A = this chain, B = another copy of it.
Amino acid sequence: MTIEPELCRVEDALGILVGKWKPIILLLLLKNGTQRFSELKRKVPEITQKMLTKQLRELEDEDIIERVVYPQVPPKVEYSITEYGKSLEPILAAMHEWGTKHTLHKQQKLEQESM
């Protein structure tokens, strides 16, 4: 094991990543760079404005993403990952890789059960 004593450090990262839509939002911003509110909404149609707004605010509060408002009509707001936010990428990558394997695992389990 490489993880030592203070076990609870993990909670901080988890606290930031938890939220039904935060990982997707972060991955979209990491992958495609700066994007407008409406772009994000379009790429994740299932999310409601309320939820998107909320999750973006929370990520902003944690300095994970940056929010830039252009004072014009109609309004324009752009979101992007901060440098600090980019430091989350290894975690997202590890989860993504694991998630892929997990899918296989679940499939195998189902196959076993149906034999």
A residues lining the B interface (CB < 8 Å): 1-3, 6-14, 16-18, 23-24, 27-28, 30-31, 63, 84, 87-96, 98-103, 105, 109
Contact = CB atoms under 8 A, between A and B. Distances in A.
A98 B94 contact: no
Can you tell how many copies of this chain the complex includes? 2
A31 B3 CA distance: 8
A103 B30 contact: no
Given A3-B31, A94-B94, 19 more contacts: A1-B30, A1-B31, A1-B89, A2-B93, A7-B23, A9-B99, A9-B102, A10-B27, A11-B24, A13-B95, A13-B98, A13-B102, A14-B17, A14-B23, A84-B105, A87-B101, A88-B98, A91-B95, A91-B98
Nearest to A100: B9
B103 A3 contact: no
B23 A92 contact: no
A96 B10 contact: yes
Contacts of A88: 98
B8 A24 contact: yes
A10 B99 contact: yes
